[in-house]
Amino acid sequence: MNKKVLLGLSGGVDSAVSAYLLKKQGYDVTGCFMRNWDSITNNDILGNPTLNDSKCSQELDYDDAVKTAQEVGIPIMRVDFIKEYWDYVFSYFLDEYKEGRTPNPDVFCNKYIKFESFRKFAYDHGFDYIAMGHYAKKVVDEDGFAYLYKADDRNKDQSYFLSQISEEQLASCLFPLASITKTEVREIASKLNLSIAKKKDSTGVCFIGERNFKQFLENYLPSKRGDIVDIESKKVVGQHSGVLYYTVGQHRGLNIGGIQGYKDDKWFVVGKDVKKNILYVGQEPNPYMYSYSCLLTKVNLIMKEKPHSDLEINAKFRYRGKDMPVRFKYVSENEAYLYYPGYKYVAKGQIAVLYDGDRCLGGGVIKEIFNEDGTKIPY
């Protein structure tokens, strides 16, 4: 085939096996390690478990990527997008938290870094495609239009995180892991005797890694103690360490218990008032857990034509959440609505991703949520 592919080589097992599979398929593959975070420059001090290590985790990953490239037999490059990541991903992440919303940086890391800055870098250096170790599937129709589908391995499917990429970005990418499972990936890596065959999957914030998340946020959003309030009785039931650090639906780490007059010690975050510095909680069941519709902004649709009428489809409100039936009403790129029969803990700032069966139609950011009568939920 001799098509040139620039593969994002992270130092992990998924991208390593992707390199092998692409090379086996006849592509001219080059690996590229992306460095998008600098802990010292970005004041990543609190909550950083590797700060005092002799070599930071990113450099260890780079060492693994270099070793993988040697083992698979491909050249490797290295590129930094530290400024782009801060400007387009992390600044948005902080701005959302300041407003009390729950952002997902991985979604916009794909949109602006992996599928934009990296893609442009690849084209500027003469590559025909980019490739990623994502578990996702691209299907191209007879007109050449690229559609996004769930990967065959539904437990690892990452289409949720790709919901903000454009059709043009999708068309330029190859997904070697579309039709194989994580178990098969590990088996291939072992058969090839790759040094990273048993390496743990990375977790934490995209390109930043594992952090004590609350302490990490304190680097940028100073903590301010305040009241935890039972949303039904309006009674103060505890103290929080900073309202920005909690997410809607959270029930661990609230440190509320043993309060007289309550049935048990299990509390859930139902909302936040950033201006008053109040964290609202409730015990299940309560009517404040639910919303019945939401307004989306930053609406991205991977469709040939924008819908002219309402669609009866599914939406996923969290990566590990279920596909939930919704009615989708498209207005513009800045406005669309989802209507549903009362779902728990739908939160402002979350990404709502749209599905028609296995096909991902795109998604949007939840800007507002509404009660059954259509009134806006303020918290």
Domain with 244 in it = 223-281
Which candidate, 272, 242, 286, places its Cα nearest to that of 369? 272
54-103 residue pLDDT tens:
778 888 999 999 999 999 999 999 999 999 999 999 999 999 999 999 89
Residue 325 domain-assigned (yes or no): yes
The reply to whether 155 and 205 lie within a common domain is yes
Domain boundary at 262, 281, 300, which? 281
The reply to whether 233 and 167 lie within a common domain is no
Give me the residue label for tokens 């950033």: 274
Which segments within 111-169 are labelled E, that is strand? Answer: 129-131, 136-140, 146-150
What pLDDT is stored for residue 1 in this prediction?
A: 59
Distance between CA atoms of 337 and 271, rounded to whole angstroms?
A: 20
What pLDDT is stored for residue 42 in this prediction?
A: 93
The reply to whether 101 and 231 lie within a common domain is no
What pLDDT is stored for residue 57 in this prediction?
A: 82
Residues of the chain with pLDDT under 70: 1
Residue 379 domain-assigned (yes or no): no
The HSE-up count of residue 332 (CA atoms within 13 Å, CB side) is 2
4-26 residue pLDDT tens:
999 999 999 999 999 999 999 99
Q: Compute CA distances 177 → 16, 183, 294, whole Å.
A: 11, 11, 34
356, containing H or E segment: strand 351-356
Global pTM? 0.94
H helix intervals, the chain? 13-24, 57-72, 82-85, 91-98, 105-109, 118-124, 167-171, 182-191, 213-218
Catalytic residue from among 32, 56, 173, 206: 206
The reply to whether 206 and 243 lie within a common domain is no
The reply to whether 305 and 189 lie within a common domain is no
Output the domain CATH number for residue 16: 3.40.50.620
Give me the residue label for tokens 């083992």: 71
Q: Are 76 and 65 in contact (CB under 8 A)?
A: yes
Residue 255 domain-assigned (yes or no): yes
* 32 catalytically annotated: no
What pLDDT is stored for residue 50 in this prediction?
A: 78
The reply to whether 15 and 134 lie within a common domain is yes
* 206 catalytically annotated: yes
The reply to whether 266 and 300 lie within a common domain is no
Residue 376 domain-assigned (yes or no): no
The reply to whether 364 and 230 lie within a common domain is no
Distance between CA atoms of 46 and 272, rounded to whole angstroms?
A: 24
What pLDDT is stored for residue 170 in this prediction?
A: 98
The reply to whether 158 and 103 lie within a common domain is yes
Residue 51 domain-assigned (yes or no): yes
Ramachandran class of 168: left when φ > 0, alpha when ψ lies in -120 to 50, beta otherwise: alpha
> What SS3 class is residue 316?
strand
Catalytic residue from among 56, 109, 173, 360: 109
